[in-house]
Amino acid sequence: MDLKEKIVSSYVAFEDGVNINSDIHEIRTEAFQNFEKLGFPSKKLEAWKYTSLNSILKEDYSIFPNKEKIISLAEVKKYFIHDIDTYKIVFIDGKYSSFLSETTHDNIDVCLMSSALTKKKYKPIIENYFNKVAKQDNLTSLNTAFSKEGAYVHIPKNTEVEKPIQIINFTTGEESATMLQPRNLIVVDQNAHVQIIERHQSLTNNAVLTNVVTEIFADRHSTVDFYKIQNDYIEASLVDNTFVEQQSNSVVSVHTFSFGGNITRNNLNFFQKGEHIDSILKGITIIEGKQHVDHHTLVHHIEPNCESHQDYKGIYDERSTGVFNGKVIVEKEAQKTNAYQKNNNILMNNKSTINAKPQLEIFADDVKCSHGCTIGQLDEQALFYMQQRGIPKKEAKALLMYAFANTVLESVKIPEVKERITKLIAKKLNVNIGFNI
């Protein structure tokens, strides 16, 4: 039985665990039909031309991991940003771990999607926002069909959340292969500010396929900073579908750090529904072996006087492959738009590949849009210069790569996150030097 068939025939079993007489389930079953019709994306689809999921769809995934596994904090502490106080919403094999979590209902709601989808007090928010910005494409539909658990964050107006929120999904590897469909909803009201760190982490080298959907709503004058740390085992694949809807004067930034995993696909979509909005999309990808990372971004400029800033840096070694597909749409009404897109790549050898594709669709005439894409190698003369000053070649390369990626790190606002990423880069490049530049 192929994976699609298995998923489709498991749906009745999934329904046993949810209230089928609810509005939410209407949304789910509609999405289910949609997925049944569309199936998994194939390379025939333009959006999936350079990323094939075939190799990972062959696994015999367990769709409902049943065994509950307790993991101790000591085992997983290193995956948290643990040197600062944070809220935590933690899942183990898709199930909430109250032991590892630190949620709150004190003015703000940092809690579970399963509560939000079923409890009456969340109903107005759920009705207004759930599945409202998510696209109806194949993998988003699949997630919506199985949406039941994930992180739910609601920040009421004029609230500055002091502590960052960490959303972490652990996979224990108890099952030989696990498929997860986490569903997150982040609603940030007027003039509120929140910082969120998201991570998906397997704990063994059994296969994992995570298909996560996150919807973010940023109301007027709000600020949302979102950091995605992707440094999973080589057997773990991730499809991240993130949809951001912004109202006037809001600023939303999403930083994606892709260092690990097998196949990673980031679908990051921004919809600007007001004026004077700033959307910031940044990423660093450093991969090797046969790793594959695909960044598919969309910024939809709908109203005038808005900005978007994209800066993606990629370093590809060995046989790794990267994709950057950055689409910017500027509607006719969206005059005075400033849209910037930068995508710079370094290929470390002649076997690595990057497919870079900027797509600009501009219907307004008074706009500033720029895109720049470069593909190059490390500068040999710079390497010689550094070696001449006593810096060994491996460290010299690492320093050059770090310097190359640094423009993305500069805008990380949580120092501990910046430090962690810096350490991950040093580890990834297998060097032990201080990058504190």
Partner 1 sequence: MLKIENLQASVDDKSILKGLNLTVKSGEVHAIMGPNGAGKSTLANIIAGKEEYDVTKGIIELNGEDISELSPEERAHNGVFLSFQYPVEIPGVSVTNFIKTSINETRKAKGLEDMPAKDMLKMIREKSELLEIDRKFLSRSLNEGFSGGEKKRNEIFQMAMLEPKLAILDETDSGLDIDALRIVANGVNKLKSKDNAVIVITHYQRLLDYIVPDFVHVLHDGKIVKTGDASLALELEAKGYDWIKEEISA
Residue 382, Cβ neighbours under 10 Å: how many? 14
Residue 411 in the binding site for partner 1 (CB under 8 A): no
CA nearest 249: which of 284, 230, 224, 232? 224
Q: How far apart are CA 253 and CA 227, in angstroms?
A: 8
Residue 402 in the binding site for partner 1 (CB under 8 A): yes
112-117 own/partner pairs: CB under 8 Å, 24+ apart: 112/149, 112/150, 112/151, 112/152, 113/147, 113/148, 113/149, 113/150, 113/151, 113/152, 113/183, 113/184, 113/185, 114/148, 114/149, 115/152, 116/152, 116/185, 117/24, 117/147, 117/148
Cβ 409 to partner 1 shortest distance, Å: 10
Interaction mask 334-373, partner 1, x per CB under 8 A: ----------------------------------------
**For 396, what's the count of Cα atoms within 13 Å in the CB-facing half-sphere?**
16
- In the list 368, 393, 423, 427, the residue contacting partner 1 (rule: CB under 8 A) is 393
- In the list 215, 240, 317, 395, the residue contacting partner 1 (rule: CB under 8 A) is 395
Q: How far apart are CA 146 and CA 120, in angstroms?
A: 21
- In the list 403, 415, 423, 427, the residue contacting partner 1 (rule: CB under 8 A) is 403
With a CB cutoff of 8 Å and minimum separation 6, the contacts of 369 are 328, 330, 337, 338, 339, 340, 341, 360, 362
With contacts defined by CB under 8 A, name the span among 59-67, 248-256, 258-266, 387-395 that binds partner 1: 387-395
The token duo for 235 is 């057997």
Residue 384 in the binding site for partner 1 (CB under 8 A): yes
Instruction: Give all strands of the β-sheet with 95-96 in edge-to-edge order.
Output: 95-96, 87-92, 165-171, 193-202, 223-230, 251-258, 278-287, 307-316, 338-347, 368-376
- In the list 8, 18, 378, 382, the residue contacting partner 1 (rule: CB under 8 A) is 382
Interaction mask 291-310, partner 1, x per CB under 8 A: --------------------
The nearer residue to partner 1, 70 or 403, going by C-beta atoms, is 403
8 Å CB contact between 324 and 318: no
With contacts defined by CB under 8 A, name the span among 98-106, 174-182, 269-277, 393-401 that binds partner 1: 393-401
Residue 286 in the binding site for partner 1 (CB under 8 A): no
- In the list 392, 413, 415, 427, the residue contacting partner 1 (rule: CB under 8 A) is 392
Q: How far apart are CA 88 and CA 28, in angstroms?
A: 27
- In the list 37, 44, 120, 389, the residue contacting partner 1 (rule: CB under 8 A) is 389
Cβ 313 to partner 1 shortest distance, Å: 11
Cβ 386 to partner 1 shortest distance, Å: 8
With contacts defined by CB under 8 A, name the span among 98-106, 149-157, 227-235, 378-386 that binds partner 1: 378-386
Cβ 424 to partner 1 shortest distance, Å: 17
Residue 44 in the binding site for partner 1 (CB under 8 A): no
8 Å CB contact between 395 and 433: yes
With contacts defined by CB under 8 A, name the span among 53-61, 193-201, 260-268, 429-437 that binds partner 1: 429-437
Q: How far apart are CA 292 and CA 287, in angstroms?
A: 8
Residue 381 in the binding site for partner 1 (CB under 8 A): yes
- In the list 287, 404, 417, 421, the residue contacting partner 1 (rule: CB under 8 A) is 404
Residue 58, Cβ neighbours under 10 Å: how many? 12
The token duo for 117 is 């989808």
The token duo for 46 is 């333009």
In the region spanning residues 205 to 234, those forming contacts with partner 1, defined by CB under 8 A, are: none
Residue 388 in the binding site for partner 1 (CB under 8 A): yes
Query: Contact residues for partner 1 (CB under 8 A)?
Result: 379-382, 384-393, 395-396, 399-400, 402-404, 406-407, 433-434, 436-437
